[in-house]
A and B are shown apart, each in its own frame.
Chain A
Amino acid sequence: KAGVTQTPRYLIKTRGQQVTLSCSPISGHRSVSWYQQTPGQGLQFLFEYFSETQRNKGNFPGRFSGRQFSNSRSEMNVSTLELGDSALYLCASSLNPTAGGGEKLFFGSGTQLSVL
């Protein structure tokens, strides 16, 4: 079974541009969540989607948005990029999410975004 696939692996953008990152979850997984990882802030939760619905959102500005398609693939978009958006963006999928919070997350290798 293929793991979580994130594309592209690396991205270089300039300030003011926008970017779209893609995540394909493990087959059968319906929940996809996104995290931003930086040396200073660690791993921070961006948002979580299940069956095309955003169920939870972290404390990020509206420039960060996402969506999930009917095949569970997800994209996140960052508009009007700032230097501080440079980070590793990680996507995680899970099999059978419940309100219990105990689901195992499977992570992709991430997209390394550099904003110049």
Chain B
Amino acid sequence: AQSVTQLDSHVSVSEGTPVLLRCNYSSSYSPSLFWYVQHPNKGLQLLLKYTSAATLVKGINGFEAEFKKSETSFHLTKPSAHMSDAAEYFCVVSSSGTYKYIFGTGTRLKVLA
């Protein structure tokens, strides 16, 4: 069975400071992991994905995530937050043979001026 847990429902950071959004996963098979972002009244956009090629994954807009198998984690980071990063972020897991993507409950990121 697969599951994903986003450890924080809300995160607030000041503009220019680092961002850390935490995600733990559970999967019976080798997982594929994703981070998606959703801006208000918009669909979801892929930030990055991990599919076993490299444990440190770089995405769009300066985001990156590190896959840590021993900790079953896939945390999303960005060195310096921008106002435009304010949105909801979803961690997603998918496993071989399921054609199914399991979404976390989301983390709403607020960026303070």
Smallest distance from the beta carbon of A104 to chain B beta carbons, Å? 5
A residues near B51, Cβ cutoff 8 Å: 100, 102
Smallest distance from the beta carbon of B25 to chain A beta carbons, Å? 13
Of A4, A43, A110, which one neighbours B90 at CB under 8 angstroms? A43
How many Å lie between the Cα of A43 and that of B104 in the bound state?
A: 8
Which applies to chain A's interface (DSSP): helix, strand, loop or mixed? Answer: strand
Complex contact B96–A99 (CB within 8 A) = yes
Complex contact A101–B96 (CB within 8 A) = yes
Using A105-B46, A109-B42 as known contacts, say yes or no to A55 and B103 having CB atoms under 8 A apart. no
A residues near B105, Cβ cutoff 8 Å: 42
> In chain B, residues 9-60, which have Cβ atoms closer than 8 Å to a Cβ of chain A?
31-32, 34, 36, 41-46, 49, 51
Number of interface residues of A (CB under 8 A): 27
A residues near B44, Cβ cutoff 8 Å: 90, 92, 105, 107
Interface size class of B (residues with CB under 8 A): 20 to 34
Of A4, A43, A99, A101, which one neighbours B103 at CB under 8 angstroms? A43
Complex contact B97–A101 (CB within 8 A) = yes
Of B32, B96, B98, B106, which one neighbours A56 at CB under 8 angstroms? B98
Of B36, B90, B100, B104, which one neighbours A45 at CB under 8 angstroms? B100
Of B49, B95, B97, B104, which one neighbours A104 at CB under 8 angstroms? B49
Query: Is B73 positioned at the interface, with any CB of A under 8 Å from its CB?
Result: no
**Residue of B whose beta carbon sits closest to that of A40:** B105
Complex contact B43–A101 (CB within 8 A) = no
A48-B100, A100-B32 known, 20 other contacts, Cβ within 8 Å: A33-B99, A35-B103, A42-B90, A42-B103, A42-B106, A45-B100, A45-B101, A45-B102, A45-B103, A50-B99, A90-B44, A97-B99, A101-B95, A101-B96, A101-B101, A104-B46, A105-B44, A105-B101, A107-B43, A107-B44
Query: Is A108 positioned at the interface, with any CB of B under 8 Å from its CB?
Result: yes
Smallest distance from the beta carbon of B57 to chain A beta carbons, Å? 12
How many Å lie between the Cα of A100 and that of B31 in the bound state?
A: 9
